[in-house]
A = this chain, B = another copy of it.
Amino acid sequence: MVKDKARGAAREHVVETDVAVLGAGLAGLVAARELQRAGLRTVVLEARERVGGRLLNHQLGDGKTIEMGGQWIGPTQDRVAALAKELGLATFPTHDRGDYLLERGRRINRYRGRAPRFGPALSADLAQLEARLNRLFDRVHPDAPWDTPGAERLDAQTLWSWTRGATFTRGAREFIELVSEGVFAAQPQDLSLLHFLFYVRAAGGLEMLESTTGGAQQDRVVGGSQMIAQRLADELGDAVILGAPARTISRDDSGVTILADGATVRANHVIVAVPLALAGRIAYEPALPPQRDGLTQRMPMGAVIKCQAIFDEPFWRAEGQTGQAASTRGPVRIVYDNSPPDGSPGVLLAFLEGGPARRLGAWAPEDRRAAVLDCLTRLFGPRAASPRDYVELDWQRERWSGGCYGGYLQPGGWTTYGPALRAPVGRIHWAGAETAERWCGYMDGAIRSAERAVGEVIGTENPRAAVAGGVQA
């Protein structure tokens, strides 16, 4: 990696390469490596002074690591599993032995299995809700949500509106709210119903998204998920330029010129691998087509503060608990055991997501910490009140992410601007987790998006290769 020394100096001359990649998150790094493997010279411009994007490790000392960003790998996430393995990174299961907790109002249910035993009204309502949702999931075209039968209606309403018509109990509505916050870091009123359906479908269903063992939270990377990005960056070496946010992309018939802080890159193609909301803040010469420009105006990022309380040991395990909890009361809605592989120290990971993240993000850090520990204490008892350490990261304040977990489309977005999500604009190609058809928003999706974008570039350079590589039209 080229650090500060390249800045200023690089501004003086133009770096010429075959393909420029913007963003050294997982998508950008994978794209760069694939391009290099295909024999193309590549430069990655990264705004931050680190690689990984929404992946970020935090060192606890003694060689112990936790993640402040994306972290889990689950079944059917073949691409990220293969990449971790290829990079020599081991995985280990998220602690998932024991009981789960569900706090509803003033009551805390302790249970095993997928959900506690609810009363007959809520059970019936949840069952019919799930059946309804499954019928809708089946209808969605994950590769082209705008082609879904009835897409316009599904896209014309918020998840909130649909849920009111599709549920009979407050408990079922609270369930959707939990899913919305937990999966999108957004409220049901923020999301187009079609976006919700697409996203869940792209992950293989609600149970896949919610579950630990057998689901999206199943495994973790030994050493922390950011290691994936770091090892890729190590392979890429000087091709990665840090501290170089791209400001302008100019394109002409023969190539693209990227003006970044500290570097100017001339290339045949550029792959933009940053979230849509941030891609829209780059200046394009000539301007982007209206559909693409409009899309960047309509895909805001979620809001999440990832809070972790560190204890000498995971005391909840000894009490027969998984450390996993959900709460409709909040402000913490979702909790996981996030301890290192050997269970030492014990770490409870508490998410503030959507509305609670927006609200508590404006609080003084000590007040926010007190509110989080208060939730953990209600759930796990008085020992949770006194962690030996507490760390948090408010992704709303991460200017080079623009929020987390990812971008979502608001009503009317998919059916009018959606086709611009992946469509190249001349020599500009789009990657990033938001552009994935499978596991959209996840590490796995980021990798898939990079592979697709690289396929486009290689296909343009060599039309025969595109056919062989299965580039999508």
**Chain A interface (Cβ < 8 Å from any Cβ of B):** 152, 155-158, 160-161, 186-190, 245, 247, 277, 280-281, 283, 287, 290-291, 293-294, 297-301, 303, 355, 358, 361-362, 394, 396-397, 399, 402-403, 410-412, 416-417
- 3 closest cross-chain pairs (CB), A and B: A156-B189, A290-B396, A297-B300
Nearest chain B CB to A288's CB is how many angstroms away? 8
A sample of 11 inter-chain contacts (CB < 8 A) reads: A156-B160, A156-B188, A158-B161, A158-B412, A186-B412, A187-B416, A280-B281, A290-B358, A293-B402, A297-B300, A410-B410
**In the bound complex, how far is the Cα of B188 from the Cα of A158, in angstroms?**
12
Residues of B within 8 A of A362 (CB): 290-291
A396 touches B161 (CB 8 A): no
Nearest chain B CB to A180's CB is how many angstroms away? 11
Q: Answer whether A411 and B160 are a contact pair too, CB < 8 Å, given A291-B362, A298-B300, A303-B294.
A: yes
Residues of B within 8 A of A277 (CB): 297
Residues of B within 8 A of A402 (CB): 293, 297
**In the bound complex, how far is the Cα of B299 from the Cα of A184, in angstroms?**
19
Residues of B within 8 A of A303 (CB): 290, 294
B156 touches A157 (CB 8 A): no
A247 touches B290 (CB 8 A): no
Residues of B within 8 A of A157 (CB): 157-158, 160-161, 189
B158 touches A416 (CB 8 A): no
Residues of B within 8 A of A245 (CB): 283
Nearest chain B CB to A209's CB is how many angstroms away? 21
Q: Which of A157, A247, A402, A412 has the most chain B CB atoms closer than 10 A to its own CB? A: A412
A187 touches B403 (CB 8 A): no
**In the bound complex, how far is the Cα of B247 from the Cα of A394, in angstroms?**
26
Residues of B within 8 A of A403 (CB): 290, 294, 297
Question: Taking CB as reference atom, which chain B residue is nearest A396?
Answer: B290
**In the bound complex, how far is the Cα of B396 from the Cα of A293, in angstroms?**
9
Residues of B within 8 A of A358 (CB): 290-291, 294, 416-417
**In the bound complex, how far is the Cα of B412 from the Cα of A303, in angstroms?**
13
Per a CB cutoff under 8 Å, which of B156, B290, B294, B298 touches A158? B156
B416 touches A355 (CB 8 A): yes
Nearest chain B CB to A195's CB is how many angstroms away? 12
Residues of B within 8 A of A280 (CB): 280-281
Residues of B within 8 A of A297 (CB): 277, 299-301, 402-403
Q: Which of A293, A410, A417 has the most chain B CB atoms closer than 10 A to its own CB? A: A410
Q: Answer whether A155 and B189 are a contact pair too, CB < 8 Å, given A294-B300, A294-B358, A402-B293.
A: yes
**In the bound complex, how far is the Cα of B204 from the Cα of A184, in angstroms?**
37
**In the bound complex, how far is the Cα of B186 from the Cα of A416, in angstroms?**
11
